[in-house]
Amino acid sequence: MMVRIPNVLTAEQVARCREVMTKAAWVDGKVTAGHQSSQVKNNLQLPESAPEARELGGMVLQALARSQLFTSAVLPKQVFPPLFNRYDAGMTFGAHVDNSVRSHAASGITIRTDVSSTLFISAPEDYDGGELVVEDTYGRHSVKLPAGDMIVYPATSLHHVTPITRGSRIASFFWTQSMIRDESKRSLLFDLDMAIMRVAGDHPQHASVVELTAVYHNLLRQWAEV
């Protein structure tokens, strides 16, 4: 299940990200790559321990906590501290699957990576190429979103970033361990939650709103790992 989450960051927050990043010291992105992905990864990254990464990562986490759509789609148990990468002209990231487990040295956090997220900070008109391409049973999905928008998708997906041919692509990326390990159950709960919201919007006093909400929470109670 892929879900686009618009306006995670405001225009002012995006501007702050860009301001901070112009002064930051970038390093080779292979520092967070596994054995297989390091062979196809060619980009730059802010070090996890850099003050810029901590400031901007905190901003992203606060924004996620306010996002009802992110919570509904991901049902987060633990969010990995957000990381930040940059692709300049000629850089790319070949086909790979994200590591199943991630550890963050500074915070001591270790999570199972159920859901991957890419939060776009560069505007799409600022660079050519750089599409995130995610493959699933329905084919290949190419993603290039406005600054401040985010895409979430199963971390089990094979995906890659196409080569940059002009400009620079800057984004935040991170993983989430969901309360619902099984992707199909997580997708079912998301669809049910969206349906409840639509019914509640059209018929706020209808008894079915309470009944469907009860079904949602009883399924969540049955499946959740907390």
- Domain boundaries in the chain? 3-178, 183-223
Give the model's pLDDT for residue 106.
77
Domain at 183-223: CATH architecture: Irregular (4.10)
> Which residue from 44, 139, 53, 147 is spatially nearest to 93, judged by alpha carbons?
44
Give the model's pLDDT for residue 32.
67
Q: Which single residue is written with the structure tokens 């660079």? A: 127
DSSP H stretches of helix in the chain: 11-22, 35-38, 51-65, 68-74, 183-202, 207-223
For 34-63, b where at least 16 C-beta lie within 10 A, e where not — what string? eeebeeebbbbbbbbebebbbebbebbeeb
Give the model's pLDDT for residue 8.
98
Per-residue pLDDT tens listing for the chain (226 residues): 999 999 999 999 999 999 999 889 999 987 766 666 667 889 999 998 899 999 999 999 999 999 999 999 999 999 999 999 999 999 999 999 999 999 988 788 899 999 999 999 999 999 999 999 999 888 999 999 999 999 999 999 999 999 999 999 999 999 999 999 999 999 999 999 999 999 999 999 999 999 999 999 999 999 999 9
Where do the DSSP E strands lie in 20-130?
Answer: 27-28, 41-42, 44-45, 76-79, 83-87, 92-96, 101-104, 109-112, 115-120, 127-129
115-79-14-92 Cα dihedral, nearest 10 degrees: -50
What are the phi and psi torsion angles at 190 (to 5°)?
-65, -45
In CATH, which superfamily holds the domain spanning 3-178? Answer: q2cbj1_9rhob like domain (2.60.120.620)
Tell me how far CA of residue 25 lies from CA of 58, 94, 226, in angstroms. 19, 24, 38
- Helix (H/G/I), strand (E/B), else coil: 11: helix
Edge-first strand order for the sheet with 139-143 is 41-42, 92-96, 158-161, 132-136, 139-143
What's the CA gap between 40 and 43, in Å, rounded?
10
